[in-house]
Amino acid sequence: MKSLMIQGTSSGSGKTTMVAALCRIFSDMGYRVAPFKSQNMSNYAYSTPNFEISRAQAIQAIGARCEITPKLNPILLKPLGNYYSMVYLDGKRYKKMHAKDYYEKFVNSKGMKTATDSLKTLQKNFDFVILEGAGSPAEINLQKYDIANMKIASKANASVLLVSDIDKGGSFASIVGTISLIEKKYQKLVQGFIFNKFRGDIDVLKPGFSKLKKITKIPTLGTIPTIEIGLPEEDSLHANPKNISWNKKNLSKIDNQLDKLAKTVKSNLDIKAIERMIK
């Protein structure tokens, strides 16, 4: 089995919810699946007396119906301001670090080792892993320090799906630009595009899909409509996140919302094509 990775043309493209939906879809299909994000920056954590990880990966784990463990998010960064973050490794507080030190002294050594060790553990214990990228893989000023996108996709032997938020406009240009800026050795990993948060008539987009495939040689696998769901938001652009209690009532609500999300995504995405990618 290979793995699957969801990357985005930007922050807020819908990577987190797409991974959550796919975790539930493939769990419903009988696969033992786990989510994974090597590095996440968030002040909203899933906390136990023993560890903390990003709540996004906890919610994805609920989608996958797998145990919530530190392996799902081995590096958590809690922003402190002035370019400093508190770094958590394997769910435990590690140290306060400046962004410069984090990038230049940590990510490609201890950071990458921590991430790949967790990934290998998950790959041994599950049928496949659904990875989530961070931001965009085309941040050319940071690519040599980026352990959350193409480097980890390559180590995971993952097929990559690239998601774009079409509601913001410029999706076709964003996709073509992203592909062109990804390092050549990684471009072959991208196997499909997903347009997210669409409002309107899908027929209007179809000529664009054909042109996009001619330019990139990569197919569009689906267009996901704007979905009103009640999952807790991440602390990203335009979000208004709130803390939640991980009680039985809220867990049941999250579970129900994941079913709703998965149903919509499944009906608008070529799941059979994605299943072929991971076999």
Give 65-109 pLDDT, tens digit per residue.
999 999 999 999 999 999 999 999 999 999 999 999 999 999 999
Q: From CA 234, how far away is CA 240, in angstroms rounded? A: 8
CATH number of the domain encompassing residue 151: 3.40.50.300
Q: Does pLDDT of 240 surpass 80?
A: no
Residue 279: band (very low, low, confident or very high) from pLDDT cuts 50, 70, 90: confident
- pLDDT value of residue 237: 47
Q: From CA 117, how far away is CA 71, in angstroms rounded? A: 9
Position 49 in a domain: no
Q: From CA 175, how far away is CA 173, in angstroms rounded? A: 5
Residue 230: band (very low, low, confident or very high) from pLDDT cuts 50, 70, 90: confident
Q: Which domain holds residue 175?
A: 3-38+55-70+108-278
Handedness of CA 101, 103, 106, 108 (dihedral sign): negative
- pLDDT value of residue 228: 82
**Could you report the per-residue pLDDT of 152-207, keeping only the tens digit for each?**
999 999 999 999 999 988 999 999 999 999 999 999 999 999 999 999 899 999 99
**Coil, strand, or helix at residue 64?**
helix
Q: Which residue has the tokens 């879809």?
A: 25
Position 122 in a domain: yes
Residue 111: band (very low, low, confident or very high) from pLDDT cuts 50, 70, 90: very high
Q: From CA 171, how far away is CA 196, in angstroms rounded? A: 9
Position 44 in a domain: no
Pick from 119, 144, 120, 147: nearest CA to 134: 147
Position 267 in a domain: yes
**Could you report the per-residue pLDDT of 20-65, keeping only the tens digit for each?**
999 999 999 999 999 999 999 988 899 999 999 999 999 999 999 9
Position 274 in a domain: yes
Q: From CA 125, how far away is CA 3, in angstroms rounded? A: 13
- Both tokens of 189, joined, read 């990993």
Mean pLDDT calculated for residue range 102-123: 97
Handedness of CA 210, 212, 214, 218 (dihedral sign): negative
Position 82 in a domain: no
Position 47 in a domain: no
**Coil, strand, or helix at residue 232?**
coil
Total number of domains constituting the chain:
1
**Could you report the per-residue pLDDT of 253-270, keeping only the tens digit for each?**
999 999 999 999 999 999
Position 96 in a domain: no
Q: From CA 194, how far away is CA 224, in angstroms rounded? A: 7
Mean pLDDT of the chain: 94
